[in-house]
Amino acid sequence: MTRNAFTIMPMKKSHIPACDAIVTGSDPWKRLNESVDLRGAISAKTTSARAYVCMAGRETAGFILFIPEPVFARGGYLRALAVAPRFQRQGVGRKLLSFAEKTTSERALHFFLCVSSFNRRAQVFYRKCGYRKAGSLPGIIRPGIAEFIYWKRLRKSPSRARRSEP
């Protein structure tokens, strides 16, 4: 499938089963025995998170869950990004991440995310997308496993207007 054949759209309830299947078969969730609350994420009344899917025709190729408003250090936060195995290495993750960065840059200066210490493929992916490791949270989810904080500046700080003197 060509990269242009992928379409990003808001996640609907009908997308949740396919997204749940991606989560259950993917790290870090598989290894940590964790899940992602997609139902809560698509309910505008309960969260400020945004959930989108990347579709390849009628098939869900991947999804992204993020908070575009500044939640930490003037930055938005990437909660989850996952791509179905058969669509990996086809630009789906990069397309979803670029979409989230563009949306977030309208509200925040930075974008943050966490990557499990064992998830080396994700670490390489985020570094290739311009993210830098900014810190580590050892044992925050499981003993012996750290969550690495990654950060990217989306835009420069707004310049302050100079006061004109009389």
CA 149/CA 136 separation, integer angstroms: 6
pLDDT at position 142 is: 87
* 100-149 pLDDT tens trace: 999 999 999 999 999 999 999 999 999 999 999 999 999 888 899 999 99
* Residue 28, amino acid: P
pLDDT at position 30 is: 73
pLDDT at position 111 is: 96
Tokens of 35: 């899940």
On the question of a cis peptide bond just before residue 158, with omega within 30 degrees of 0, the verdict is no
pTM of the model: 0.86
Residue 1 binned pLDDT confidence (cut-offs 50, 70, 90): low
Task: Single out the residue of 118, 121, 153, 112 nearest to residue 138, CA to CA.
Answer: 118
Order the strands of the 110-116 sheet from edge to edge.
6-10, 50-56, 59-72, 75-83, 110-116, 145-153, 132-142
Sorted by sequence, the CB contacts under 8 Å of residue 10 that are 6+ apart come out as 42, 50, 51, 52, 53
pLDDT at position 159 is: 47
H-helix or E-strand spanning residue 75 = strand 75-83
31-54: average pLDDT: 78
Q: What are the residue boundaries of the structural domains of the chain, listed by start?
A: 3-153
CATH no. for 3-153: 3.40.630.30
Please name the residue that has the structure tokens 């938005």.
76
pLDDT at position 162 is: 40
pLDDT at position 2 is: 53
CA 83/CA 87 separation, integer angstroms: 6
| More reliable by pLDDT, 43 or 81 | 81
Tokens of 111: 């974008």
* 55-104 pLDDT tens trace: 999 999 999 999 999 888 889 999 999 999 999 999 999 999 999 999 99
Query: Cα–chain-centroid distance for residue 1?
Result: 23
Is 6:95 a contact under the CB 8 Å cutoff?
yes
5-30: average pLDDT: 89
